[in-house]
Structure 1
Amino acid sequence: MYLTAVDLGSSQIKAVVAELKKDGSLVVLKTIKRNSAGIKKGEIIYPEETVKGLFDVLGEIKHFDKKCLKNIVFGISGTKTRFNISRAAVSIPRPDFEILQEDIDRVIRESMAVNLPAGWQIVHSLPREFIIDDIEVDGMDVIGLSGRKLEANVVLISVFSSIYKNFLKVANLVFGKKGDFDGSLIFSPLAAARSVLSRHQKDLGAVLIDIGLGTTSLTVWQDGRILTARVLPVGSGNITNDLAIGLRCSLTAAEEIKISSGAALAREVSSKDKVTIESGGGKIIEVSRKYICEIIEVRVREIFAMVNEELRNMGRSAKLPAGAIITGGGAKMDGVLDLARQELKLSAQIGLPSSEELETSGPIIGDQIDDIEMAVACGLLLTKVDLLKKGGAIKNASGRLQPLNESWLRKFFRALMASD
Structure 2
Amino acid sequence: MEGAGSVAENLVLGLDAGSTHVAAALAEAPEGGEPRVIGVGLVPSAGVYRGLISDLSAAARAMRKAAEAACAMAGRPQVNRAVISISGAHLRSEVGAAAVAVPRPAAGVTPELVRRVLDAAAEAVEPSAGRERVHVIPRSYQLDGSVPLRDPMGLCGRTLAAEVQVVTGDALHVQNHLRAASQAGFEVADYLVAVRAAGEAVLTPEEREEGVLLLDIGGGTTGVAVYELGHLFHLAVLPVGGDHITHDLATVLRIPVETAERLKRERGWAAPRLAGDGTVTLPTPSGLNTYEVSEKYVAEIIGSRVEEILQMAAAAVKRSGYAGLFPAGLVLTGGGSRLRGLAGYAGDCLSLKSRIGTPADSLAAEPELAAAAGLALWGVRAAPAAAEGGEPSEPATDAAEARPARAGRLRDWLKALFH
Normalising TM by the smaller chain, what interval?
0.7 to 0.9
Partners of 1:305 and 1:4 lie apart in 2 by 35
Contact 2:108 2:155 in 1 (8 A): yes
| Match status 1:53 vs 2:48 | no
Is residue 208 of structure 2 the alignment partner of residue 199 of structure 1?
Answer: no
Q: Does structure 1 residue 135 correspond to structure 2 residue 141? A: no
Q: Is the 8 A contact 2:45 2:62 kept in 1?
A: yes
Label 1:73 to 1:162 Cα distance change in 2 as closer, same or farther (>3 A).
Answer: same
> Deviations 1:105-125 (Å, cap 9, x if unpaired)?
222222222322111111111
Match of 2:366 among 365, 368, 371: 371
| 1:286-314: CA deviation from partner (whole Å, max 9, x where unpaired) | 32222211111111111112122223445
Residues 246 and 387 (structure 1), Cα distance of their counterparts in 2 relative to 1, 3 Å cut: same
**Structure 1 residue aligned with 2:241:** 235
- Shift in CA distance, 173/191, structure 1 to aligned 2, threshold 3 Å: closer
SS in 2 for 1:135: coil
What are the residue-to-residue correspondences of 1:273-284 with 2, within 5 Å? 273-284=278-289
Contact preservation (8 Å) 2:217, 2:332: yes
* SS of match in other structure, 1:112: helix
2:28 matched residue in structure 1: 19
Whole-Å separation in 1 of the counterparts to 2:386 and 2:146: 28
Name 1:417's counterpart in structure 2.
none
Pick aligned residue for 2:44 from 28, 32, 35: 35
In 2, distance between residues paired with 1:169 and 1:302? 33
Alignment of 1:237-256 (within 5 A): 237-256=243-262
1:235-266 Cα shifts (integer Å, max 9, x gaps): 11011111111111111111111111111122
Instruction: Find the aligned partners of 1:349 and 1:95 in 2 and give their Cα distance.
Output: 45
Equivalent in the alignment of 1:162: 172
For the residue of structure 2 that corresponds to 1:249, the secondary structure is coil
2:376 pairs with 378, 381, 399, which one? Answer: 381
Q: 2: distance between equivalents of 1:122 and 1:394?
A: 20
Aligned residues: 382
Give the letter aligned to residue 270 of structure 1: G
- Residues 258-294 of structure 1: CA deviation (Å, up to 9, x unaligned): 11111112223334x2222223311331322222111
Q: After alignment, is 319-328 or 151-160 more displaced?
A: 319-328
Name the CA distance, whole Å, in 2 between partners of 1:11 and 1:376: 13
Distance 2:211 2:345 in 1: 20
Instruction: State the distance in 2 between where 1:32 and 1:394 align.
Output: 32
Q: Tell whether 2:267 aligns with 1:258.
A: no
| Matching of residues 156-195 of structure 1 within 5 Å | 156-170=166-180, 173=183, 182-195=188-201
What amino acid sits opposite 2:249 in the alignment? L
Name the counterpart of 2:292. 287
- Contact persistence 1:4–1:68 (CA under 8 A): no
Residue of structure 1 equivalent to 2:121? 111
Map 1:58-77 onto structure 2 (within 5 A): 58-60=67-69, 69=79, 71-77=81-87
Instruction: Go from structure 1 to structure 2 and tell me whether the alpha carbon gap of 1:186 and 1:93 turns closer, same or farther (over 3 Å shift).
Output: same
Amino acid at match of 1:2: L
> Residues 2 and 67 of structure 1 are in contact (CA less than 8 Å); yes or no, is this contact kept in structure 2?
no
Does the Cα contact within 8 Å between 1:318 and 1:346 map onto a contact in 2? no
Cα drift, residue 383 of structure 1 = 2.3
For residue 282 of structure 1, what is the amino acid of its counterpart?
A: G
Which of 280, 298, 301 is the aligned partner of 2:304? 298
Distance 1:147 1:196 in 2: 36
| Whole-angstrom CA distance in 2 between matches of 1:150 and 1:246 | 57
* SS class of match (1:352): coil
RMSD: 2.8
1:120 aligns with 131
Q: Quote how far apart the aligned CAs of 1:96 are.
A: 6.8
Aligned-partner Cα distance in 2 for 1:300–1:23: 44
CA distance in 2, matches of 1:313, 1:149: 29
Distance 1:346 1:152, change over 3 A: same
SS of residue matched to 2:60: helix
In structure 2, the residue matched to 1:3 is 12
Pick closer, same or farther for the CA change 1:381–1:56 going to 2, 3 Å: closer
- Which one-letter code corresponds to 1:287 in the other structure? E
Moved over 6 A (4+): 397-400
Contact 2:281 2:290 (8 Å CA) reproduced = yes
CA distance in 2, matches of 1:60, 1:195: 20
- Tell which deviates more after alignment, 81-90 or 283-292: 283-292
SS in 2 for 1:390: helix
Q: Distance in 2 between matches of 1:6 and 1:269?
A: 36
Q: CA deviation at 1:95?
A: 9.2
1: distance between equivalents of 2:283 and 2:211?
Answer: 46
Partner SS state of residue 303, structure 1: helix
Give SS of 1:183's match: strand
Taking a change above 3 Å as real, the CA distance of residues 378 and 181 of structure 1, as seen in their structure-2 partners, is closer
Deviations 1:356-402 (A, max 9, x none): xx4xxxxxxx2x4221112112222332233234344787x9899xx
What is the letter of the counterpart of residue 340 of structure 2? Answer: D
User: How far is the alpha carbon of 1:182 from its aligned partner?
Assistant: 4.9
Matched-pair contact (CA < 8 Å) for 1:124–1:399: no
* Alpha-carbon offset, residue 70 of structure 1: 5.2
